[in-house]
Amino acid sequence: AQKITQTQPGMFVQEKEAVTLDCTYDTSDQSYGLFWYKQPSSGEMIFLIYQGSYDEQNATEGRYSLNFQKARKSANLVISASQLGDSAMYFCAMRGLYSGGGADGLTFGKGTHLIIQP
Amino acid sequence: KAGVTQTPRYLIKTRGQQVTLSCSPISGHRSVSWYQQTPGQGLQFLFEYFSETQRNKGNFPGRFSGRQFSNSRSEMNVSTLELGDSALYLCASSSMGYEQYFGPGTRLTVT
């Protein structure tokens, strides 16, 4: 079984500041993927970033980076230079990966509601 | 490349009825997954289809079923609707990688 914990229900951040959204996970899988998604009020889930459990380097995608600490089972999302358009719900998720291809369904955390203030 | 599309976007049904939701994946994507999002339970995995075969299934009752067609389009069916089935139903597609790309969702209200 997999579990994702996001301990920050809500966050207020000033525009242009960096933001760290916390995520810890628990799994018995040896191979797994960690994901972050953004969900604006419109409801669509927007893929932000992916980190494989065997990736040695932290993933980065533009202003997003994933601070992966495997021993601590931590996968925090860092948003640099926040913008007003970053205001949304953010979900951390994971899935076990199969050696022959394929994967489990995504297990999501409860989410963090991020509000960027001008 | 067009994204994942879901129809209809909004739906109102009565308890006891059944409903069918449709999802068209990104062109070239062969895997389609379905998720239910509710305020109480959050986001939960329903099932995944790959090449017309159900590959994974979440912990939902048999009233929830799905299928995938040869063109990778997928449908999800819920029979004997209950009030608790009111939710945002999200479809996601993926290709060879592990990332899943979501559609805009279908918001189902059961009265």
> Are B104 and A50 in contact (CB < 8 Å)?
no
Report yes or no: B1 and B100 within 8 Å, Cβ to Cβ: no
Identify the DSSP state of A63. T
Picking from A101, A105, A109, the nearest residue to B48 by CB comes out as A105
> Are B42 and A106 in contact (CB < 8 Å)?
no
Closest chain B C-alpha to A103 CA, distance in angstroms: 7
More confident site: A21 or A1: A21
Each residue of A62-107: pLDDT tens digit?
999 999 999 999 999 999 999 999 999 999 999 998 877 778 899 9
| B87 DSSP β-pair partners | B108
| Cα(B108)–Cα(B8) distance, integer angstroms | 9
* pLDDT of A1 higher than 90: no
Closest chain B C-alpha to A81 CA, distance in angstroms: 25
Count CB neighbours of A54 within 10 A. Answer: 11
Residue with tokens 């809500």: A10
Percentage with pLDDT > 90 across chain A: 88
| Cα(B3)–Cα(A93) distance, integer angstroms | 21
Contacts of A103 in chain B (CB under 8 A): 98
> Are B43 and A33 in contact (CB < 8 Å)?
no
Indicate the pairing of strand A64-69 with strand A74-79.
Answer: antiparallel
pLDDT band of B2, cuts 50, 70, 90: confident
Q: Tokens for B35?
A: 């998720």
**How much is the pLDDT for A41?**
93
Q: Mean pLDDT across the stretch B63-81?
A: 97
Picking from A44, A52, A104, the nearest residue to B56 by CB comes out as A104
In 3-state terms chain B splits into helix, strand, coil percentages (rounded to 5) of 5, 55, 45
> Are B45 and A106 in contact (CB < 8 Å)?
yes
Chain B residues at the A interface, defined by Cβ less than 8 Å, are 33, 35, 42-48, 50, 55-56, 58, 88, 90, 92, 96-105, 107
Handedness of CA B25, B29, B32, B38 (dihedral sign): negative
| Cα(B65)–Cα(B63) distance, integer angstroms | 6
pLDDT band of A19, cuts 50, 70, 90: very high
Count CB neighbours of B59 within 10 A. Answer: 7
Longest dimension (CA), chain A: 48
Identify the DSSP state of B72. S
Q: Mean pLDDT across the stretch B71-94?
A: 97
Q: Please tell me the least confidently modeled range out of A36-50, A96-110, B4-18.
A: A96-110
> Are B35 and A44 in contact (CB < 8 Å)?
no
Picking from A42, A44, A105, the nearest residue to B56 by CB comes out as A105
Q: Mean pLDDT across the stretch A28-33?
A: 92
Q: Mean pLDDT across the stretch A50-70?
A: 95
| Cα(B91)–Cα(B88) distance, integer angstroms | 10
* pLDDT of B97 higher than 90: no
Residue with tokens 């939902």: B60
